[in-house]
Amino acid sequence: MRYELIIFDWDGTLMDSVSKIVACMQAAAQEAEWGELDVAAIRDIIGLGLPEAIAKLCPGIGPAQAERLRQRYAHQFVHGNTTPMPFFNGVEAQVARLREREQQRLAVATGKSRRGLDRVFTETGSGSWFHASRTADETRSKPHPQMLNELLLELDVPVGRAVMVGDTEYDLEMARAIGMDRVAVTYGVHTPERLAASQPKWVAHNVEDLFGWLHG
């Protein structure tokens, strides 16, 4: 099926940023005097908005310490940590091919903040790839489907003509909540078994798999 609108998650789907997110969150937790955080636990919350991620990752944390952790994470991500964040191999060329298709629209639905997404758009020159985007701080965090509903409304696309692509159950479950088709990618953070529970229409194990199916 050819979709009028393809909505991509960002971290772990288009961009190989998981290692940086993990390193920044570990450093921020230490600076906020929360203590050591497990790598698997951090990987599990990737995709959520930052306040929701901190609440899940640090149960019982108070508001002041949570805000300190949030601030230190933002500092680490922008200024402190130098872990590279490349696009997954082939993403740039494949998105360009999609953009060439007549009446094809592309969007982003991410747990990033608007400031964070706009920064990476500017740094990579990728902002022009997409017709619209939503971030967790300007709507509701995944897995709530509000950001998808807003994108459909903005671009005037019926839900049956759109598909969500993501590497976490949060991506897939927000799509399933409104009856939107969904594609799981297994090269991100959640396991194939966990993704399968959300009944994706396709499971892609690499970028070639993903875009081969989307171009079909």
| Residue pLDDT, tens place only, 38-89 | 999 999 999 999 999 999 999 999 999 999 999 999 999 889 888 999 999 9
pTM of the model: 0.94
CB 176 within 8 A of CB 182: yes
Does one domain contain both 12 and 25? no
pLDDT tens-place string over residues 116-162? 999 999 999 999 999 999 999 999 999 999 999 999 999 999 999 99
Last residue of a domain, one of 50, 80, 110: 80
118 and 167 within one domain: yes
Q: Looking at residue 27, which CATH number applies to its domain?
A: 1.10.150
Burial class of residue 204 (count of CB atoms within 10 Å of its CB; 0-12, 13-18, 19+): buried
Answer yes or no: do 101 and 32 share one domain. Answer: no
> Is the same domain home to 127 and 45?
no
Q: Is there a single domain that holds both residue 11 and residue 31?
A: no
Asked which of 24-28, 37-41, 77-81, 201-205 is least confident by mean pLDDT, the reply is: 77-81
Q: How many domains does the chain have?
A: 2
Parent domain of 105: 5-16+86-215
Cα(32)–Cα(171) distance, integer angstroms? 29
